[in-house]
Structure 1
């Protein structure tokens, strides 16, 4: 096979679908990418930043994948993964399997150093990469400068005619095997796959988002309960629930639900803002929604000014009425 470069993006593919941030990781790695998982050849054709690509068709199991990838990465100094769910699962396994340092949560990376965010994105630190490293790159940070025509990938999947006569392949305790690589690894056993609804979708991937601000929580109210109500109403309408920094700082939702330049950067088709005034920090993370609805008592607030539809009303009262109509959980 052709020699792998000093810096390489590794992207986990499921059924030909690329994770969010895949092209950004490829661009940060200079266009070099190794795709592993299922439907890798088709996924390679969807990349817009790749100039060199390799594929390894295999089941998606982090321990088995790490063991299979480890011997292929000897010449690679920096392995860069998008900070997607599969990327975050594979990165520590791969770091352990290859004896590399793990640097998680990067906004920028090259072969010499990486910029990492810490303390809930309040601090960015620059670290020197003194040896071979595994780095995860946060999505929504880089973009792709010059889209390219996807190259023909080089297939690294072992020939089954050879492997059937030689090594039995990697076997994990969950029964997942990758033929052609000799190892025994421990992997999580899949007990059940539960189809998630819109409320479980990561904000960065949601097409509809209901956002809650401080104006959604009346004085003396249980903020966490109000935000749970918002999540239930959002789910009933096929949307995910997000929040402003004030709400997440108060502990009413997890930080992963915070929208803004110091939280999740989103780009939904529809954004409905409940009691959100529209501070620059928040609107800077909204991307370019096709439709914005603002529910606020202040008709002159920035969020209402940028909305396609501004509803001048008490946000808690509107949420209560929606819950009553959609969930039957309110009297009146």
Structure 2
């Protein structure tokens, strides 16, 4: 991969996209000089005691130093047993990223690197934190190393390597780091109450919170995914996969072979040049399991693979491997699910 060192515009123009870049063909890389990163503090927004996607990963990346913000800090702290070593919490109701940023500013001012998960709440809070602290935001990090942060840009076609010298706010993509849950007790929890602050950043008023549409939701957030690969014989068969996914309240994803054929948008591609996913259930239809694809799988709880090649890598990864034709399996599965849906509808009449 060709690497190009170019100057970066001063804050805040860097994160507004006003920086130089180069077209380097299929493999493009941008190195941006900003050099030595100090200690990291993980800032984790929580709801009802539940960690967001990637929450445990940012705490592990910060060597166990974390600040929890939201409701249910005690419960969230238990989920970080063996990971967190120095844990503080601000117990506050709801989700108000503007107010949180204003009040947390004096608490975070001396932290060189503030790291948040790139979850929906993390992505909402991070730019506000960066704004009140007047420092750059490096969003969607794929890797954090001493003195540098790597991020993906332009749909995975550009890898930006930021050499960090100074204070920054960073969001880490869920699933790219992984966490080994060590056995141990939860860290002692210190509760804090940040001082009231003038509203430099205001919050919008939430009228209604709608559940996500599984057919369009971000694959990195999807709890269940059906993936289609080269083993599917036609675009109609892939459309059938999407229909089966909807019946299972799952999202449809694909390998690069499928997106290059134009059967689905590249935003639904799973792999090194696509999206990194971390679902509870991943069902692979006709996917051999090339490393470019499997590198995009975080740590799914369960993997099911349907393939005619019983020795392909995806079958080795699977918790349940079915040696069968993916096209025929989709057809039968759709018929069974539609019949089940009809019987349930009849029972309710």
Aligned with 1:115 (options 124, 147, 150): 150
Pair 266,90 (structure 1): closer, same or farther in 2 beyond 3 Å: same
Report the aligned-residue RMSD. 3.3
Q: Which has the higher contact order (CA 8 A, sep 6+)?
A: 2
Confirm whether residue 78 of structure 1 aligns to residue 110 of structure 2.
no
Note the 1:155-234 alignment, pairs <5 A: 155-157=191-193, 180-183=196-199, 185-196=201-212, 203-204=219-220, 206=222, 208-216=224-232, 218=234, 221=235, 227-234=238-245
Structure 2: state its 5+ residue gaps.
1-37, 340-349
Match of residue 293 from structure 1: 305
Q: For residues 279 and 57 of structure 1, do their structure 2 counterparts lie closer, same or farther at Cα, with a shift above 3 Å needed?
A: same
List per-residue Cα deviations over 1:108-143 (Å, max 9, x = no partner): 336732222334335433212232211111222333
Residue 156 of structure 2 aligns to a residue in which SS?
A: coil
Judge which range, 78-87 or 272-281, deviates more. 272-281
Residues 179-328 of structure 1: pairs in structure 2 closer than 5 A: 180-183=196-199, 185-196=201-212, 203-204=219-220, 206=222, 208-216=224-232, 218=234, 221=235, 227-266=238-277, 268=279, 270-286=281-297, 287=299, 290-296=302-308, 302-303=313-314, 308-313=320-325, 315=327, 318-320=329-331, 322-323=333-334, 326-327=337-338
Aligned length: 297
What are structure 1's unaligned runs of at least 5 residues?
A: 159-178
- The answer to whether residue 122 in structure 2 is matched with residue 106 in structure 1 is no
- 5 Å matches for 1:143-154? 143-144=178-179, 147=182, 149-154=185-190
Q: How far apart in 1 are the matches of 2:291 and 2:136?
A: 36
CA contact (8 A) 2:281 2:303 kept: yes
Q: Map residues 8-27 of structure 1 onto 2, 5 A cutoff.
A: 8-27=41-60
Decide whether the 8 Å contact of 1:6 with 1:75 is kept in 2. Answer: no
Q: Does 1:32 align with 2:37?
A: no
Write the mapping of 1:61-72 to structure 2, written as runs, cut at 5 A. Answer: 61-72=96-107
Structure 2-normalised TM-score?
0.71
Q: Find the residue that maps to 2:115 and give its secondary structure.
A: strand
Q: Which residue of 1 aligns with 2:84?
A: 50
Query: Deviation of residue 16 (structure 1)?
Result: 0.7
